[in-house]
Structure 1
Amino acid sequence: MKMNGNEIRQGNIIKHQDTLWVAVKCNAVKPGKGGAFNQVELKNLLDGRKLNERFRAAETVEKVRLEQKKHSYLYEDGEMLVFMNGETYEQIHLHKDFVGDRAAYLSDGMEIDVEFYEERAINISIPEQVTLEVEDTEPVVKGQTAANSFKPATLSNGVRTNVPPFVGVGERLIINTEDGSYVKRAD
């Protein structure tokens, strides 16, 4: 599907220079002299490169739609992570580097979305929050209730994060998968 350069918005996936890019930032500029343009910061979906590009209204780009399929995380196989499509039971192997730091938050049977372009996996989306148990942290100190104080803790997946002083070993916490930060205690 073709679209004008001034219609590109944040989150749009476009085909530019024969590869796939996602628009990270968009800024519509109307200079006093000359025509308006859209200054777009692009990130390459295949290799992670960044590019700043100027698109005029008269230019057209191809907007790409990715196919999303639900998969379940199965297991780790060396440097590969194995996922299964719940409808077709077809398994795919994705390299740990492709998944990145988010791999630490995967657990058996976790439902994720895998985005495909022409049958090639381009991106995965894991849940925004996961529940993990505290394996190691400093003991709870009575009376320590400072509003913005935190202490280090190691979670059941091996990730280190900062938690409030009232959190003890064995407690289950909800953690943000974007940055690994503490959200709240699990019910």
Structure 2
Amino acid sequence: MSSVAATRLRKGNLIKHNNELCRIVETQHVTPGNLRGFVRAKMRKVKDGIMFEHRFRSEDMVERAMLDEREMQYLYKDGDTFYFMDTASYEQTGMSEEALGDSMNFLLPESTISVEFYEGNPVGIELPPTVDLKVTDTVPGIKGATANAQTKPATLETGHVVTVPAFVEVGTVVRINTDTGEYLSRV
């Protein structure tokens, strides 16, 4: 285990809090007027998925979980379990939708990603900063629409719905930011 200052916590970090493994969902650094600053962290317990909030003082040291990362290939989804294969040993591992969280919106079969293990159990995945996905459903485009004109919802091949400019049509491949889940550009 290594310690990190509370002010350095970021979304997606895994920490040990009250002897439980927790994933940071959201952080906010607050400095109220002449009072001491603090970090408000929204966390999810890895074991049971329970969400909770905790305030850390700015000077608090937080115990980060040491993870073992393995290169794995996403194979398929069965029910609410996603299956991955270790590219070195060909061993298969399943992860629940709960453990993956929003990451499942950006997974395509046969894509290679980094899977995080803690004490031999898979606890999450590390996605690239952007992914390119095909639009499978959206309302027809508006003739003469420009990049800063109206927007519309579009369903991607993973089922994720994202807001895109009006000129994007079915079959277009778009680049999505995996941190925010937002449209970046056409590919």
Q: Scaled by the length of structure 1, what TM-score is found?
A: 0.75
Q: Which amino acid aligns with 1:174?
A: R
Deviations 1:48-83 (A, max 9, x none): 4323244596x8764431111111101112221110
Once the 2 structures are TM-superposed, how far is the Cα of residue 164 of structure 1 from its aligned partner? Answer: 1.3
CA distance in 1, matches of 2:65, 2:143: 56
Distance 1:93 1:146, change over 3 A: closer
Percent identity (aligned): 33
- Tell me the residue number matched to 2:52: 50
Gaps of 5+ in 1: none
- 1:99: which partner in 2? 100
Is the alpha carbon distance of 1:105 and 1:37 closer, same or farther for their aligned partners in structure 2, counting shifts above 3 Å?
closer
Cα pair distance change 1:179/1:22, threshold 3 Å: closer
Coordinate RMSD, CA, aligned: 3.2
- Tell me the SS of whatever aligns to 1:104: helix
Name the CA distance, whole Å, in 1 between partners of 2:23 and 2:105: 25
Distance 1:39 1:178 in 2: 20
Larger mean CA deviation between 122-131 and 42-51 belongs to 42-51
- Can you list the C-alpha shifts for 1:118-164, whole angstroms capped at 9, x where unaligned? 11222212233222222333333333337241122232333332221
> Secondary structure of 2:176's match?
strand
TM, length-normalised to structure 2: 0.75
**140-149 vs 111-120, which moves further:** 140-149
Radius of gyration: which is bigger? 1
Distance 2:58 2:163 in 1: 46
- Give, as a single letter, the amino acid of the residue that structure 2 aligns with 1:50: F
Aligned to 1:74: 75
Distance 1:45 1:86, change over 3 A: farther
Aligned mates of 2:97, 2:16 — CA distance in 1? 26
